[in-house]
Copies of this chain bind each other. A is one copy, B any other.
Amino acid sequence: MDDLAADPSHPRYESLLKRHILENAAKKGMLAGSALIAHGRGEAYDYLIGEQTIETAMNATKHALYQLKMAKHPVISVNGNTVALVGEDLMKLASLLDCPIEVNIFYRTPERMSALLNHLDEIKQRLDLDVEVLGASPDTRIPGLEGPRAKCCQSGIFLSDVILVPLEDGDRCEALVAMGKTVIVVDLNPLSRSSKMGSITIVDEISRVAKNLISMFGEQEEILEHPFDNEKNLRRSLNHINQSLTEASNFPV
């Protein structure tokens, strides 16, 4: 491990730990070549929101949890970075929601799929969770997408009415929305196509989101305004970043 990442008191401990986890996942063949670059983009946006769950993100997270709990067929869709960073917490969340988790990756190869499924299976055994892990045998397609990225499971993503898709690409997000699903996006860039396309977009780091969803799970439901105004919430997230930058531009040199 990087010498800096071994010390929990280091101000960048969390960030360095995540890098370490992803570098290891890359070595195990769990990630596509572009995964580390995507994580770096996230790091930059996380830096701009102060590496914290901002108010608009918490607002979106509450609505997301409400939708997931009210759903007939909720599902959690995961890719390489998500499995590596928060596989364990998302398996716990799937267990709480009593819903399947489906591995669904952009660059699908048998090797990567198997590395990811094995990783989740190891978590399932270790934590003794009764969660269905899908993705090994896709039996249908998401309409409107081409190639291997369209593949999915009938009993998972295809059937779902509410889907949590952290770190998803814009095309797939759009295709899922077009299927009439409530699509919950987790994306640190409030300007990304996924963020704009999602039904509920949580502009926050996925580890924090997973922890928030789990810790709020048993709490009394608040009465939430409906429908959720994603555009308004995204604008408020952008305003937060803007304000931080304005404050930061008064930095001492």
Give chain A's interface residues, CB within 8 Å of chain B: 2, 19, 22-23, 26, 33-34, 36-45, 47, 189, 191, 196, 230-231, 234-235, 238-239, 241-242, 245-246, 248-249, 251, 253
Q: Smallest CB–CB gap between A183 and chain B, Å?
A: 13
Do B37 and A253 touch across chains, with their CB atoms under 8 A apart? Answer: no
Do A238 and B248 touch across chains, with their CB atoms under 8 A apart? Answer: yes
Chain A interface helix/strand/loop/mixed = helix
With A22-B37, A41-B40 as contacts: A242 and B245 at CB distance below 8 Å: yes
**Which of B23, B34, B241, B253 is within 8 Å of A33, CB to CB?**
B23
Do B251 and A191 touch across chains, with their CB atoms under 8 A apart? Answer: yes
Do A37 and B36 touch across chains, with their CB atoms under 8 A apart? Answer: yes
Copies in the complex: 2
**Which of B19, B47, B235, B246 is within 8 Å of A37, CB to CB?**
B19
Complex Cα–Cα for A31 and B65 (A): 40
Jot down 21 A-B pairs with beta carbons below 8 A, ordered by A: A19-B33, A22-B37, A36-B36, A36-B37, A36-B40, A39-B40, A40-B40, A40-B43, A41-B44, A41-B47, A42-B44, A43-B44, A191-B248, A191-B251, A196-B251, A196-B253, A234-B253, A235-B249, A238-B245, A241-B245, A242-B242
Q: Smallest CB–CB gap between A25 and chain B, Å?
A: 11
**Complex A-B, nearest 4 residue pairs according to Cβ-Cβ distance, in ascending order:** A40-B40, A44-B44, A36-B36, A37-B40
Q: Smallest CB–CB gap between A40 and chain B, Å?
A: 2
Question: In the complex, which residues of chain B have a beta carbon less than 8 angstroms from the beta carbon of A44?
Answer: 40-45, 189
Q: Smallest CB–CB gap between A42 and chain B, Å?
A: 7
Complex Cα–Cα for A238 and B247 (A): 10
Question: In the complex, which residues of chain B have a beta carbon less than 8 angstroms from the beta carbon of A238?
Answer: 245, 248-249
Complex Cα–Cα for A191 and B37 (A): 20
Which partner residue on chain B sits nearest A243 by CB separation? Answer: B242
Which partner residue on chain B sits nearest A15 by CB separation? Answer: B37
Question: In the complex, which residues of chain B have a beta carbon less than 8 angstroms from the beta carbon of A37?
Answer: 19, 22, 36-37, 39-40, 43
Do B246 and A242 touch across chains, with their CB atoms under 8 A apart? Answer: yes
Complex Cα–Cα for A42 and B43 (A): 10
Which partner residue on chain B sits nearest A43 by CB separation? Answer: B41
